[in-house]
Amino acid sequence: PRHSPSAMAAPAAAASSGSLPKLATFAGEPVAKPAMDAIPERARSLATKTYRPVFWHDDMLFLIDQRALPTDFELTSCNTVAMVGECINLMVVRGAPAIGAAGAYGLVIGARKALSDGGDLAAVVAAAKAAKVELDAARPTAVNLEWATARMAAIAEALAGIDGMTADRLTSTLLTEAHELCDLDVRTNMAMSRFGADLVPEGANMLHHCNTGALATIDFGTALGVIYECHAQGKGVHVWVDETRPRLQGARLTAWELMRAGVPMHLIADGASGGLMRAGKVDVVVFGADRVAANGDTANKIGTYTMCCAARENGVPAYAVVPTSTIDLTVPTGEGIPIEERSGDEVRCIKGAQVAPEDCPVFNPAFDVTPAKMITGIITEMGVCYPPFAVSLRKAKEAAEEAIKAEWDAKLAAVRAGSA
């Protein structure tokens, strides 16, 4: 018989699993949480009814410490480029769009430091470019980080070429553009969510891997955004949530988000998804990505390839949901996508508790690449791309970049006019 959410037991509450490692450059305890009514509108998440995972307040960057969830809800603040980079590397902030936003604010922090040190226009631009180099090295696979920092560095350089531009004005404009990048992410996610929801039948059982929701983006999410939209439309969907070893983003973060939103779901071990598909209990697979090659090969959280193999074997459609900023046309195929390898302790331990022999050798790639032939479609803010992906992805990417360029050209013209 097909799955009936109401006929199955509710998921058990997560148990506490001890203290978290602290960042070496941080002063110890998590920062005090600002009152919700004291923070700007753009700092509030509509999806989770709390803070956005990345927000600017009181001249400082705040991040939800995602290592702490679901047992603790903590914020971390950053006021140096090195702190932002460390937060990205240690996955205090994670999810390709979210780390892109953090990177954008990291450039602002670098520029503001140069300004406070008495630097002139050239020094501020140089500081922004140096911040880009430092931040891009924090995590190599997610192209959104590189995309966001490149956009911010290009803006700094363009502003510096305007007659009458000052270091102070340039730095202020960079902060405004970082805010706009976050607002763009929300608009992008909402558009993808609508396109994706159109593909999901009523009463569908959906399988989701890792975390792609409001915690991984600025708000709503990519693949999880599609699920939120289906739920909002009353489609009666149910979600199978892969736990997503080794860092358990599905168990810790996606389950937390969906339960807050009241979306019917059940947490499953990663190895359970194939059996569910074979039994006919999965109708649609949705996942995000950290980089998509020009031919449609897609790098996402480790385990995505295995999931998509099972989906293809069982005739289940599998959709990647990605903003066009995740599409990297400079990489022809997935063979050219760098795959981050992380500490073996992430596999040997779970939140500090040892689960394997201390000296056990570990291979721990953070991502794998799913060949384009395994993917039914790639949902973007410009619409759904279908094979041949080499054609459809390029068309979507170029259309999105043209729209962004036209918007920035108009802003630049206004700045020039104001400086005349």
Q: Which residues are catalytic?
A: 290
The candidate with the shortest Cα–Cα distance to 370, out of 274, 284, 293, 278, is 293
Which residue blocks in 200-343 are alpha helix, DSSP H?
A: 223-232, 249, 255-261, 273-278, 304-313
Q: What share of the chain is helix, strand, coil (3-state, %, to 5)?
A: 45, 15, 40
Rounded-to-integer distance, Cα 288 and Cα 227, Å: 12
3-class SS at 69? coil
Rounded-to-integer distance, Cα 129 and Cα 111, Å: 9
- C-alpha dihedral over 132, 302, 270, 144, to 10 degrees? 30
Residue 202's contacts (CB-CB under 8 Å, 6 or more residues apart) are 235, 236
Q: Buried (b) or exposed (e) across 160-174, using 16+ Cβ within 10 A?
A: bebeebebebbbebb
| DSSP letter assigned to residue 252 | I
Residue 228's contacts (CB-CB under 8 Å, 6 or more residues apart) are 47, 193, 213, 220, 221, 261, 263
Residue 89's contacts (CB-CB under 8 Å, 6 or more residues apart) are 138, 139
Rounded-to-integer distance, Cα 213 and Cα 225, Å: 6
Cis preceding-peptide flag for 388 (omega within 30 of 0): yes
3-class SS at 285? strand
